[in-house]
Every structure is written in C-alpha cells, then in structure tokens.
Amino acid sequence: MADIIWCKKEKGGKPCNTVNYLDPYCFWNWEGKVNCAECGTVYYIYMIQGHMYKGPEERPGEKPDKMPLYADKPLEGYVNYRPGTAGKTAPFECIPRHFLLGKADMVKFSIRGRPVRGWRPQPPSAGIAGSFPYKWDIQKLSPEVWQEYQEKLKKREVKDW
C-alpha cells in the first residue's frame, strides 16, 4: 500500500490536483524532500514503517531528495506520469533482468513429452480463450503438433512418470 501526497498548490489560478504515489519500498523509513510530478512543489516528509509521521510540509526554493514513483490527476481523466518520466518521476528500479525481457516461449509439450493444450497460436476452432473440452482431438485440431507427437513416440521421448 503506497502513501500519497495530494498536491493542492495553486498554479495559474487553479489547483494542481496531482496525486503523487510514494512507493513503500523506497519511502519505508525515510526522511527528506519529495517533489510533485506536475508542478514541482517540494514537500518535506518523515515516514516511519510506511506511515506518514511528519508532513507533507511545503518547502519552497529547496531541491527534492527523491521523486515519486507514479503520479496521476484523478479529476482530469487519464492524465498520469509513469515511472521513469524525466524530471517528473523516479525510475522503476525493479525491472526484470535482461534475459527476462524477451517474448514468451511457445510450449507444445510437457516435461514428459505429452502435448499440452495451451500453445499459441490457437486454431480458430478453439473458440473463445481456447476452451477445448476435457478430451480434445489433437489430430483434428492441430495436425502439425500431432505429427511431432508421433515422432516423439517413435523416438521414445514420451515418459509416463
């Protein structure tokens, strides 16, 4: 659960109305200054165990120590600032490692060599969300996977347990 700072600072005759989300991982036991993603107003906060102990107190003319992870304007529809927006929000530090950023592997067979029903692309006969009945006819639905399965059977690559 993230804590928030709802900025109500007047800019150009109307309130900023930006909700700045403070990521609990970065702000758990933290004391310092954080900026508003929209207007740049700097607030002093002191958080203990993820709860706001002091603040937010406005600190004009000071530089922020950290930026919020995410911010949005709930009263203006879908206006938001995603993690890593330059000068507005902090970068998301928990991105997956480089070898996890590819696309998913297509798995046609289980670890024991038996065909599975969740490969892609599914044939049009699969219907909505690939909902096959419990007993499915692989030979009719996907002849190429059936051929591959027959070859695995001949090579004795299919195991029972």
pTM score of the predicted model:
0.56
Reported as a single tens digit per residue, the pLDDT across 27-82 is: 889 999 999 999 899 999 999 988 889 989 999 999 999 999 889 998 888 888 88
- Check pLDDT > 70 for residue 124: no
Q: In this structure, what is the dihedral angle of CA atoms 92, 72, 14, 76, given to the nearest 10 degrees?
A: 150
Q: Which residues pair with 48 in a beta bridge?
A: 51
The reply to whether omega before 123 is within 30° of 0 (cis) is no
Domain ranges in the chain are 3-81, 103-154
